[in-house]
Amino acid sequence: WDLEFTEIRPLDVDLDEELTARGEHFLNLHKCILKYAGLQQSNIWAYLGENNVPVKSLVAALSFFVLTGKNKKAKVEQRLNSLHAASLYLLLLGMPGSIANKVFHEILFDTCLDLSSHCWPENSGKKRKKDGSKSSKADGKRSRPQRKDLTDEGEEEEEEIHLSGSDLMKIRDALFLLLQSLLKLLQTLSLKDRPQSLSNCTRVFTHNLLYFEPVIGEIEFAPLKCVPEMAFYGLQLLCSPKHGDPKESLRRVFHQLLYVILMMSKGNRKKPTLLVVNQAILSTRDQTISFVSYLVEELKELAVPFLHILLQHICVQMVEKSEFRSHGAQAVSMLTSEMTNTDYSRFIRWLLNFSRHPKMACRLFAVDVAVALLGEPERKPEECQDPGLAPFLQHKLLIQSLLFSGQMDESPTVQGHALSSLAKCLEIPSMNVTQAIHNLFNESKSGVCTQISKANLALLFRRVKDSRTSVRKSALQALMGLLKHDVIPASSENLFVLSERCRDPAVSVRKKTLQCMGELLTANPLNIAVQKAWLHGVVPVVLDSENTVQDRALEALEQMLLHPITSYSSRSHQDTFQRLAWDLLVLLCQDCKNLCNYLGKAFSIWSKQNKFTPSFITNLISHTEAEHASGAWLLLSKVGSFSARPSLEKIVDAWDRMISSREINVTVCCHILCVIGNIAAHLNEDTKERMIDDLMSRLKRFDMSLEVISAAVDTLFQLGRDEDIKQTQVCRRCDKNMIFFFFFYSCFLVGKRTVLLVESVLTTNTDKLKVVYCQVITISLDCKCQTISRMFSHCVANHGLLMLFPGKLCLQHEELVQKYLPVFARELEVGTEMAVRNNVVIVMCDLCVRYTAIVDHYVPNISACLRDSEAVIREQALIMLTNLLQEEFVKWKGSLFFRFMVALVDPEPAIASLCKYCLLHLLLKKNPDMFSQHFIECIFHLNCYDKHKSYKFPQSER
C-alpha cells in the first residue's frame, strides 16, 4: 500500500512457496467467495474479520501476484496466478462494503485491466503494430525516435518466452474468468466518480479485447461465448446511467470505437497508425458497426447526436488509401441506415458541404460515401418531417452535386475518381439512380433540359481528351458506361470519341480503351455501329509500338474473330458470339475493307502460336457457301499462307463458279484469288493450266477493277512461278498489249509479287521494252490517246495519276531524269490541274533523294509551290520539303528560307500552324542558328529591297 502498487515487494519465502505450490488456491477461493456472495444476509468483510484476515494484507498479497504477471519473462504459472488474483480482486470489489473497507485502489484496478495485454503473448499484435507503422512510414508520418522505440520493442519481444498451445488455452480461460468478474463488478460498482478508470476500462475493451479472438457467427450478448462479445457487453454497461452521464459515456465509447471502424491503432501515440487489413480486422470492424447500430436502436434519440459526430469523424479522419476509403464508405452507409429520414437528410446536407473540403482526401471520400449511399434504397421525401430537408433524400442530388460535379474539381485525382464512380453507379440495380443519370445527359419531355444535357456531354468529352492520364482513363470508363446502358445514343460521333483513344499517347489509356471497347461490344453484340467502332479502334492497334498494348489487341481479336468459329450448321446464327464474329468479318469485307491491311501482322503472330489447326481450316471452309461467305473467304485468304494443306475441292468449285459468273463480287473475288495463290503449290498441273488460261482471258478483256487486277496478277505469279524466270507461264504467254498492261498497272499496284512479275515479263521481252517506254511516256505527257483512254477509262480518272508513272520510271533509269525534269518543272508553273501539280511535287521530292545533285537546281521550283493557289499543294510541298531538310538532301539556300517565312502567314490557319511546328520543333533542332543566319536577308527580301550590293534576290509573283 505504501508503494501505491507500482513496485513489487517480495513476499516471505515460505508464504510464496506455499501459495505457488498449489495453483488451485485462487480458483478455490474464487468459488468460495461466489458461493458466499449468493447467500442472503452474508457479509464477507465481517467473515474475514472474524477469521483475523486483514483486508489490506489480502489486497497486498493479491497485488503481488497481479504485478508479477506483468513481466515479459513471467512463466505460465505466474501469468495464470496473476489473472486469477486479478479476478479475485475484482470479485471482492463487487461485494457490498468494498468501498467502506477501502478495497478499491485506482492503480491496482487499472493494472488488473491491463493484464489482458501483459499476460497474453503479443506476437501477432506486435507484428500488426509494426506493419501498421510501415504503412505510416510510407506516408512519411513517422520520425526516427519512433523507429528506435520499435527496435526496443522488437528486442523485448525476442526475450519473451515461448508458450505452447495448451498454455495459451489455460491463459485464455483465466482471462475469460477475469472478464466475468469485471462484468459483475460493472453491474454493481459505479465508476462515475473515477473518470480515469472509466477511460482505461473503455480503452481495454476496444483496443485489447475486441481483437483477442474471432467471433463465430453474429455477435450476441446472451450467453457470452467469447472475449469480444464480453468486451461489447462491457462497453454497453459503461453507457448505463450507473457510470455517469450517458451522453458523456456514449461520447467516450464512440470515440474509442471510431478507430476500430477506421481500422487504425491509436495506442499512446498522438497520431493513429493504420492496421494491416485482413479478415480478422474486417470482421472486428463489422461487429463494431453492428454494436453501434445496436446501441442507437436501444438508446434511440439519446445516441443519434453522437452517431452524427461519429459519422463526421469517420469522414474527416479517413486516409487517402483506396482500400480504407472503400471500407469506410461501407461503414457510413451501414450506420446511416439506422437514422430517421430527418436525421439522414441532415447528414446528407453536411456531406455536400464536406465535399468542398480543402483536403483532397476528404473530397475523395465524399465521392465514395455518395456511391455507397446510392446503393441503398431511396427514401421517400414525403416521409421527412422537415419539408426543407426533403430534397436531400433524393438520389439525384448525390449524383448531380457530388459525382458529376466532382469532375470539375481542381484535383485531377478527384476528377478521375468522380468519373469512375459515375460509371459504377450505372451498374447499381436501382431505377432511381439510372433515371437520375439519364436526366443528366438526356432532354426532358418538355425539351427544357436540352442545352444542359448537351453541355454535360460536351464536358465529359473534354475530360476524355484531358491532359492528365488518370482523368482520361476515368472519363473513358464513364463514357463506356453511358453507351453501354443506353444513357446516350451509340451514334458514330459518340463512338468515335471512345475509339480514337486507342491511339492515345499514354499506354495505360490505350489499354483502358481496349478494355472499354471490349465491354461495350460484349454488352451490345448486335449493334452495327458498335461493331464498326470496335474494329476501327482495335484492329490498327496490332501495329502498336508498345508490345503489351499490341498483345491486348491480338487477344481481343482472337477472342472475337477466331474462338467463336465452329463448323457450319443451320443453328449457328443462334449463338450470339458466333453471329458477332461473322458480322465483324463481313464488315471487314465491306465497310471496313481498309482495316484488312492491319490483319497481316496478327495472322503472322497467330501462325507462330499454332492457332490455325486443320480442324479450324475445315470449319472455315464449311462456311464458304453461307450468307457470310465473304467473311469466311477473308479468313481463308489470311490463314491459307500460314496453315497446312486445306481441302481443295470446295475451293476449286468456288473458283469455277466465280469464273463462270458474269456478276463478280469484287471483295469475295479478291479473297478467292488470294486463296488460290496460297494453295497453288498443292494444285496439279492441269488445274494450274486451266486457271492461268481463265485469268489471262479475263485480263485481256480489260473489264476488271483495279483490286481484282491486282489480286489476279498476284495469283498468276503464284500459279506460273518457276525457278527459271523465263519459263514462267505468264512470260511465255504475253503479247505486246499485255506487256504494256502489266507495266502500266505495276505503277499503281506496287505489290512485291506484281513488281517481280512485271520484271520477269519485261526481261523476257526486251525487244518490246522500248516500244512500251515510248507508249508510257506519250500517255503521261499527252493524255489524248484515244485507245489508251478507252482502255483505262474505268480506272484512271485524270491526268494526275499518269504523272506518277514517268516518275517511277525515272527512279529506275537515270538517263530519263535529265530528259524529263524540265518537263516536271514546267508542269509546276503552267499546269492547271491540281492533281498533276500535287503529284509532280511528290515525284520531284522523291527524285531529290535518289539524284540529289541533279534535282538541286529545281528546288526553287518546288519551294514556289508554297505559294500555290491550292491549299493541298501548299501543305504537300511544306511536308515534303521539311522531310528533305531534316535528312539534309536540301540545304537552306536561295529563296527557300523566305518561302517558309511567307508560309507562316498562310491564309489557311492549319498550314500556318504546321509551318510553325516544322520550323520550331523539327528544323530548329537540326540547325539552331538558322533564324539568326537569315534574319538580315529576310528584312531585305520581305520588303522587296533590291538595291543592296550583296542582298539581291530575284522575285516573282509566286
Q: Which residue type does 241 have?
A: P
Q: What are 647-670's pLDDT values in tens digits? A: 677 788 888 888 777 777 888 888
- Give the residue, 207 or 7, on which the prediction is more confident: 207
Chain centroid, CA 807 distance in Å: 49
Q: Can you list the alpha helix ranges (DSSP code H) found in 683-803?
A: 685-700, 706-720, 729-733, 736-746, 752-764, 769-781, 786-791, 799-802
Of the given ranges (204-213, 674-683, 939-948), which has the lowest mean pLDDT? 939-948
In this structure, the chain runs to a length of 958
Neighbours of 427 (CB within 10 A): 13
Q: Would you state the pLDDT for residue 129?
A: 39
What is d(CA 538, CA 498) in angstroms, rounded to the nearest whole number?
Answer: 11
Q: How many other C-beta atoms are found inside a 10 Å radius of the C-beta of residue 597?
A: 11
DSSP state of 388: G
CA 144 from centroid of its chain's CA atoms:
37
Pull the grid cell for residue 499: 475509339
Residue scoring higher pLDDT (44 or 153): 44
What is the predicted pLDDT for the residue at 464? 93
In this structure, is the dihedral angle defined by the CA atoms of residues 77, 78, 79 and 84, taken in order, positive or negative? positive
Instruction: Classify 140 in phi/psi space as left (phi over 0), alpha (psi -120 to 50) or beta.
Output: left
The rounded distance, in Å, linking the Cα atoms of 630 and 623 is 9
pLDDT more than 70, % of the chain: 79
C-alpha distances out from residue 75 to 72, 119, 170, 193, 957, Å = 9, 10, 12, 36, 107
pLDDT at position 789: 33
Q: What would the grid cell of residue 557 be?
A: 481479336
Cell reading at 304: 443519434
Beta bridge partners of 742: none
Residue reference for cell 512479275: 757
End-to-end CA distance of the chain: 112
**Alpha helix (H) residue ranges in 375-465:** 395-398, 412-425, 431-441, 450-464
Across 82-91, 256-265, 273-282, 788-797, least confident range:
788-797
* Mean pLDDT score across all residues of the chain: 80
Neighbours of 108 (CB within 10 A): 23
The residue-averaged pLDDT of 819-827 equals: 84
Q: What is the DSSP string of 158-200?
A: HHSPP--HHHHHHHHHHHHHHHHHHHHHHHHS--TT-HHHHHH
Are residues 762 and 812 in contact, defined by beta-carbon separation less than 8 angstroms? no
Q: pLDDT band for position 836 (50/70/90)?
A: confident
- What is the pLDDT at residue 726? 46
pLDDT band at residue 232 under the 50/70/90 scheme: very high
**Amino acid (1-letter code) at residue 817:** V
φ, ψ at 274 (rounded to 5°)? -75, 140
Burial (CB count <10 Å: 0-12, 13-18, 19+), residue 795 = middle
Amino acid at 283: S
Residue 319: pLDDT over 50 = yes
Residue 264, phi then psi, degrees to nearest 5:
-125, 160
Closest by Cα among 835, 582, 796, 823 to 705: 796
pLDDT in tens, 374-384: 999 888 887 77
**Is residue 781 very low, low, confident or very high in pLDDT (cuts 50, 70, 90)?**
very low
150-168 average pLDDT score: 60
C-alpha–C-alpha distance, residues 264 and 353, integer Å: 26
pLDDT given for residue 22 in this prediction: 53
Give the whole-angstrom CA distance, residue 305 versus residue 906. 70
Count Cα neighbours of 907 within 13 Å in the Cβ-side half-sphere. 6
Q: What pLDDT score does 756 carry?
A: 47
pLDDT, residue 222, reads 67
- Backbone torsions φ then ψ of 273, nearest 5 degrees: -110, 150
Indicate the pLDDT class of residue 347, thresholds 50, 70 and 90. very high
pLDDT of 786: 34
Bridge-partner residues for 273, per DSSP?
265
Highest mean pLDDT among 9-23, 443-457, 512-526, 724-738: 512-526
Whether the Cβ atoms of residue 399 and residue 346 lie closer than 8 Å to each other: no
- DSSP run (H or E) holding 797: none
Q: Which residue has the cell 481500422?
A: 263
The predicted structure's pLDDT at residue 793: 39
What pLDDT is attached to residue 266?
78
Helix H or strand E segment including 264: strand 264-265
What CA–CA distance (Å, rounded) separates 614 from 838? 50
CB distance 82 to 68 below 8 Å: yes
Q: Which long-range contacts (CB under 8 A, 24 or more apart) does 726-733 make?
A: 726/760, 726/763, 726/764, 728/757, 728/760, 728/764, 729/688, 729/689, 729/692, 730/692, 730/696, 730/757, 730/760, 730/761, 731/760, 731/761, 731/764, 731/765, 732/764, 733/692, 733/696
The cell for 700 is 485481256
Q: Does residue 397 contact residue 391 with C-beta atoms inside 8 Å?
A: yes
Predicted pLDDT of residue 483: 93
> Strand pairing partners for 274?
264
Residue 479 has a pLDDT of 94
Residue 487 amino acid letter: V
Q: Which of 406, 435, 434 is nearest to 418 (CA)?
A: 406
Are residues 755 and 746 in contact, defined by beta-carbon separation less than 8 angstroms? yes
In the chain, the amino acid numbered 304 is V
Backbone angles phi and psi of 265, in degrees to 5: -120, 115
pLDDT band at 874 (very low <50, low <70, confident <90, very high): very high
Cα(315)–Cα(337) distance, integer angstroms? 16
Bridge partners of 265?
273
Counts of helices then strands in the chain (DSSP H, E): 51, 2
Residue ranges per domain, the chain? 1-121+165-189, 196-339, 610-782, 799-957
**pLDDT tier, 850 (very low <50, low <70, confident <90, very high otherwise):** confident
SS3 430: coil
Distance CA 668, CA 590 (A): 10
Angstrom distance (rounded) from CA 604 to CA 642: 7
CA gap 728, 716 in Å, rounded: 9
Q: What is the model's pLDDT at position 583? A: 92
For residues 509 and 476, the answer to whether their CB atoms sit within 8 Å is: yes
What pLDDT does residue 590 have? Answer: 87
- Give CA–CA dist 472/222, Å, rounded: 54
Query: Residues 571-624: pLDDT tens digits?
Result: 766 788 889 999 999 999 888 888 888 888 898 888 888 888 888 888 888 888
Cell of 113: 485491466
What pLDDT shows up at residue 657?
Answer: 82
Look-up of cell digits 498468276:
716
SS (H, E, C) 437-504: HHHHHCCCCCCCCHHHHHHHHHHHHHHHCCCCHHHHHHHHHHHHHHHHCCCCCCCHHHHHHHHHHHHC
H/E stretch holding 804: helix 804-812
Under the banding of pLDDT at 50, 70 and 90, the label for residue 748 is: very low
Main-chain phi, psi angles of 728, to 5 degrees: -60, 135
Q: Other CB atoms closer than 10 Å to residue 662's CB: what's the count?
A: 4
DSSP characters over 272-304: -EEPPP-HHHHHHHHHHHHHHHHHHHHHGGGTH
d(CA 286, CA 292): 10
| Average of per-residue pLDDT across 455-481 | 93
701-724: b (≥16 Cβ within 10 Å) or e: eeebeeebbbbbbbbbbbbbbeee
pTM here is 0.69
Would you call 350 helix, strand, or coil by DSSP? helix
Asked if residue 561 lies in contact with residue 585, where contact means CB atoms within 8 angstroms, the answer is yes
**265 secondary structure, DSSP code:** E
Q: How far apart are CA 843 and CA 839, in angstroms?
A: 6
Least confident of 639-648, 670-679, 700-709: 639-648
Residues 6+ apart with CB under 8 A from 335: 289, 292, 293, 296, 307, 310, 311
